[in-house]
Amino acid sequence: MDKARNEQFERKIDIFGQKLGLVKNISTKLENQQAVQSAQKPEKTLEVIEELQCALEELFVAEEEIKAQNEELAIAHDQIAAERQRYQELFEFAPDGYLVTDPSGIVREHNQAAASLLNMPKSALVGKPLANYIALKDRHALRYQLNRVQELERLPEWEINICPRQSQPFAAAITIATVRDRQGKVTDLRCMIRDITARKQAEEKLQKIQVQNLQLQESAKLKSHFLAIMSHELRSPMNAIIGFSQILLRQAPPNLASNQANMVERIFSNGKHLLKLIDEILDFARIEAGRMELKLAEFNLVQLVKETVEESRSLAEQKNLVLEVELNLTNPNIVNDSDRLRQVLINLISNAIKFTGEGKVAVTVEELWSDRLAIAVKDTGIGIAEADIEHIFDEFRQANQTITRQHGGTGLGLAICDRLVRLMQGKIDVESKLGEGSTFTIEIPRRVEVGNNN
Ligand code: ADP
């Protein structure tokens, strides 16, 4: 009950007392008058009786008010008891350990969780210093914090090692807050102890994973470095093999027998295949090591697409495929790395030709919203199964091993395209239906920004 209510109640009791006094006075007056009644006039007696009735009525009203007040008091009392019970239960069944200690850290009260954390029977903990259950190395810190909290409201959570009775120590987080009297003097300390073993274990695991991650990144870098060096070293002899076999082929009719020319031809085409493979590995290693940089310049996209398609025309004709181009650009100028964009297009077009038995391959270019462009390569070929589509841009992935083995290839081409298009701040997508054909679409900005590659 609040102070105002108390005062009001005290005032009413005063009034009640005054009225009681009045009734007493009147009744004494009546008694005195009894003795001299015979000598007095009957009017006087009537007057006194009326006064008495009046006072009695007021007394009755005051009594009613006090009764009502009493009822209110009883309700308030019940509410306070229920609240206390609720807080006691909350305290008792809280999952964390709660202890109330005196200012020096002697336990006065605690909940069930605190007793279990410290492995103590409930009643045995009261009267013991909290420091008894703290690891030796942390006791000094606890004492320091207990002194410090006298000046503060609450201490921020800190970590401490708890030594429960006859049990293994564990890491805990502890928070301490003060309870003060009206003069501001600390009367109690409220401590909350939380077992953080699981959190610590998770942190340790995370740390281990981070270290492993770093090691993995390091070994991936080493692998890319190794690949880059090896590929570079392989390129020179391979170029020599291709160059010399080409010279030999030019002199074939007079100087080489037809079976010899045939063998040199195979050396030449296998050499070219190997060189393409080495170039792909080199590119991929460079991209993975973050050493691939775009050489940005402004150029005419329409011209580049037309030239690239023409380069592939003979391949399409060998397979009787129609090769179409559709260009829908109002402004053909873009900023990008023309060599790398050509490399992506060649890869997509040669794949489309490689995996199409009959029908056509169509290349379309169009403007999209917000200064972005789309280049699509569509074929009527074998298509890609739904299950293979999600991995199609992963390195060394080939959709259908039996079919792709007939066509050769490393499974690196699309992975390189994907990484290059991402470097161009764009994205590559594929839509395909098995047996009906595929459409690979790249979406790139009209102007690739310097140093904004992801
Ligand atoms: P590869 O050098 O083996 O062609 P790519 O990365 O370019 O490597 O392609 C990976 C695989 O994706 C191919 O082996 C093939 O299974 C599938 N693929 C790529 N393009 C097409 C396409 N246009 N039609 C059907 N399958 C395709």
For the chain of 454 residues, list the mean pLDDT of each consecutive stretch of 10. 66 75 75 63 74 82 86 90 86 86 92 91 88 92 88 87 91 93 91 92 95 90 79 85 90 79 89 86 82 91 95 92 94 94 96 94 92 96 91 75 59 91 96 95 94 58
Using the mean position of ligand 1's atoms as its centre, give its distance from the Cα of residue 135 in Å.
64
Residue identifier of the C-alpha nearest atom 7 of ligand 1: 413
For residue 438, what pLDDT is reported? 96
Closest of 340, 324, 346 to residue 425, by C-alpha: 340
Q: Are strands 360-367 and 322-328 parallel, antiparallel or unpaired?
A: parallel
Mutate to test the pocket of ligand 1, among 351, 363, 404, 420 (most ligand atoms within 8 A of CB): 351
Q: State the helix-helix crossing angle for 301-318 and 338-354, rounded to 10 degrees.
A: 30
For residue 441, what pLDDT is reported? 97
For residue 423, what pLDDT is reported? 94
For residue 444, what pLDDT is reported? 97
Using the mean position of ligand 1's atoms as its centre, give its distance from the Cα of residue 404 in Å.
7
Mutate to test the pocket of ligand 1, among 400, 404, 417, 438 (most ligand atoms within 8 A of CB): 404
For residue 367, what pLDDT is reported? 93
For residue 240, what pLDDT is reported? 92
Using the mean position of ligand 1's atoms as its centre, give its distance from the Cα of residue 429 in Å.
13
Distance from C-alpha of 78 to C-alpha of 80, rounded to nearest angstrom: 5
For residue 364, what pLDDT is reported? 97
Using the mean position of ligand 1's atoms as its centre, give its distance from the Cα of residue 318 in Å.
19
For residue 250, what pLDDT is reported? 86
Q: Could you identify the atom of ligand 1 that is nearest to the CA of residue 415?
A: 6
Q: Could you identify the atom of ligand 1 that is nearest to the CA of residue 381?
A: 24
Using the mean position of ligand 1's atoms as its centre, give its distance from the Cα of residue 321 in Å.
18
Using the mean position of ligand 1's atoms as its centre, give its distance from the Cα of residue 350 in Å.
10
Which residues form the pocket of ligand 1, taking CB atoms under 6 Å from any ligand atom? 347, 351-352, 355, 379, 381-382, 384, 392, 397-400, 404, 409-415, 438
Residue identifier of the C-alpha nearest atom 25 of ligand 1: 383
Closest of 450, 335, 426, 299 to residue 375, by C-alpha: 426
Residue identifier of the C-alpha nearest atom 23 of ligand 1: 352
Residue identifier of the C-alpha nearest atom 2 of ligand 1: 409
Using the mean position of ligand 1's atoms as its centre, give its distance from the Cα of residue 399 in Å.
7
**3-state helix/strand/coil string of the chain:** CCHHHHHHHHHHHHHHHHHHHHHHHHHHHHHHHHHCHHHCCHHHHHHHHHHHHHHHHHHHHHHHHHHHHHHHHHHHHHHHHHHHHHHHHHHHHCCCEEEEECCCCEEEEECHHHHHHCCCCHHHHCCCEHHHHECHHHHHHHHHHHHHHCCCCEEEEEEEEECCCCCCCEEEEEEEEEEECCCCCEEEEEEEEEECHHHHHHHHHHHHHHHHHHHHHHHHHHHHHHHHHHHHHHHHHHHHHHHHHHHHHHCHHHHCCHHHHHHHHHHHHHHHHHHHHHHHHHHHHHHHCCCCCCCCEEEEHHHHHHHHHHHHHHHHHHCCCEEEEEEECCCCEEEECHHHHHHHHHHHHHHHHHCCCCCEEEEEEEECCCCEEEEEEEECCCCCCHHHHCCCCCCCCCCCHHHHHHHCCCCCHHHHHHHHHHHCCCEEEEEEECCCEEEEEEEEECECCCCCCC
Using the mean position of ligand 1's atoms as its centre, give its distance from the Cα of residue 410 in Å.
9
Residue identifier of the C-alpha nearest atom 8 of ligand 1: 411
Using the mean position of ligand 1's atoms as its centre, give its distance from the Cα of residue 360 in Å.
17
Distance from C-alpha of 289 to C-alpha of 222, rounded to nearest angstrom: 9
For residue 41, what pLDDT is reported? 63
For residue 235, what pLDDT is reported? 85
Prediction pTM value: 0.55
For residue 221, what pLDDT is reported? 79
Using the mean position of ligand 1's atoms as its centre, give its distance from the Cα of residue 57 in Å.
107
Mutate to test the pocket of ligand 1, among 277, 382, 414, 442 (most ligand atoms within 8 A of CB): 414
